[in-house]
Amino acid sequence: MIRKLTITILVDNKPGNPEVLAEHGLTLWIEADDRRILFDTGQSDMLIRNAEVLGIDLRTADTLVLSHGHYDHTGGVAAVLDLNPGISIYCHPGIFMSRYSQQPDGKMKPIGITKLASVALYQVVDSIHWTSGPTLISADIGITGPIPRLSNFEDTGGAFFLDPEATKQDPIDDDLAMWFKTLKGIVLVTGCCHSGLVNTINCTKALTDNTPIYAIVGGFHLLHASPERMEKTSDYLHLNGIEQIVPCHCTGENAVEHLNMRCGQKIIPGGSGVCFHV
């Protein structure tokens, strides 16, 4: 069991600390007993500056986990590898795929991993740990690998495609999450939850012998969720007794407001610089 877990939000869409900057993206700094884990890297090298301000030495990180191959989660990879070239990397092999998002006006926006990040990863490709399935980092720390899509009300959360002509939908199969087994229960860390938050929780419970989920930190991608999805998601969180919920990045303001109404004080606002302790 992990006795001490601290999660610091290095990068988020909004600042939670006046000392640090914000951008559309996500980076989490995780201290789990003697482990130092970087989860995602935002869309730029902003995490480097924010870490310095917060007194976090990224050179001490032993592990980098990339939740999926979108630019706003992988943009700082090159900067991290420049600073910490020996860091152990975990990601899905689909991370290099070209990705596009169809905007409201119909235009297609490239949202895949940047060339700079791809080149940096290819330089160390032989040492990457590929998470094509559930993967243990230690006895009490795991990566889900691809998450089964079993619910009938969740989707990827947007108009995502593998080609600029919008003929091939992107299921974002490389989407993954991390779990930490603590004395209080499982702490679940998510990047964007393109697999759906309920699917992600159910997958994690199956991988951890149905150990209760104590807390969830990360992006939930409920920005475009239907009223039905919001109701079923918030009901699920409430009924499963999850004690602390930290929505970040792509969750969406309306979704956070809905979760606040349903789950009350269990909702803890995210933001760059916010620190969460277990």
| Both structure tokens of 125 | 């490709």
Q: Are the CB atoms for 11 and 268 separated by under 8 Å?
A: no
Sign (positive or negative) of CA dihedral 175, 80, 251, 4 = positive
- Any idea what the Cα angle at residue 9 is, between residues 89 and 262, rounded to 5°? 120
Compute the distance between CA of residue 147 and CA of residue 127 in angstroms, rounded to an integer.
24
Q: Are the CB atoms for 166 and 176 separated by under 8 Å?
A: no
Element (H, E) at 199: helix 197-207
Compute the distance between CA of residue 195 and CA of residue 188 in angstroms, rounded to an integer.
14
Question: Residue type for 166, please?
Answer: A
Least Cα distance to 22 among 53, 68, 56, 62 occurs for 53
Compute the distance between CA of residue 184 and CA of residue 172 in angstroms, rounded to an integer.
31
Element (H, E) at 50: helix 46-53
- What is the full per-residue pLDDT of the chain (278 aa) written as tens digits? 999 999 999 999 999 999 999 999 999 999 999 999 999 999 999 999 999 999 999 999 999 999 999 999 999 999 999 999 999 999 999 999 999 999 999 999 999 999 999 999 999 999 899 999 999 999 999 999 999 999 999 999 999 999 999 999 999 999 999 999 999 999 999 999 999 999 999 999 999 999 999 999 999 999 999 999 999 999 999 888 899 999 999 999 999 999 988 888 899 999 999 999 99
Q: What is the pLDDT of residue 277?
A: 93
Q: Are the CB atoms for 278 and 215 separated by under 8 Å?
A: yes
